Structure 1
């Protein structure tokens, strides 16, 4: 006797709900304006800043997490900007273009 049969014996009137399973990746808001990929030095250390996103803040945070995981570096999300430690503009721009974003390189 498996678990389903045991549950039917305990709760004969219950009808299980059917939940559709989807294997879709979460969609991200794509925008018309390009994302700005800036390079700066703070306290002598290089950082890359992604700015100009006008979608939902939760989507932008998810994008920040994916970038940090892909690059294997630290970073943060502050003031509606993604701050990545190090100069990774090429990799970040390639990743964002692969996701469907338009990017624009700003700074040195």
Structure 2
């Protein structure tokens, strides 16, 4: 489970939250899009855990650390969802397809 330490709302369709996962802080972003939200969790180092909207090919082109999970609607869902795609930079951190989103976050 994710602990939320603060929330900033941007209009009716977007917000950001400070998230704490096992004593590590992350920033979560949520933007309402069609039937599912665009979700992204970012580490202080710049690594990203994102939902199905995240483009791993673009992350690779930018040499960015990015990890994708699918079928999620909340930050808590992202913790238990299985990683489905990983950028080359994320692979160097030991993140692999099949691990949970939470396990990936803790390797950032």
Q: TM-score, normalised by structure 1?
A: 0.30
Tell me: higher relative CO, structure 1 or 2? Use CA pairs within 8 A at least 6 residues apart. 1
Q: TM-score, normalised by structure 2?
A: 0.30
Structure with more of its chain in strand, by fraction = 2
Structure with more of its chain in helix, by fraction = 1
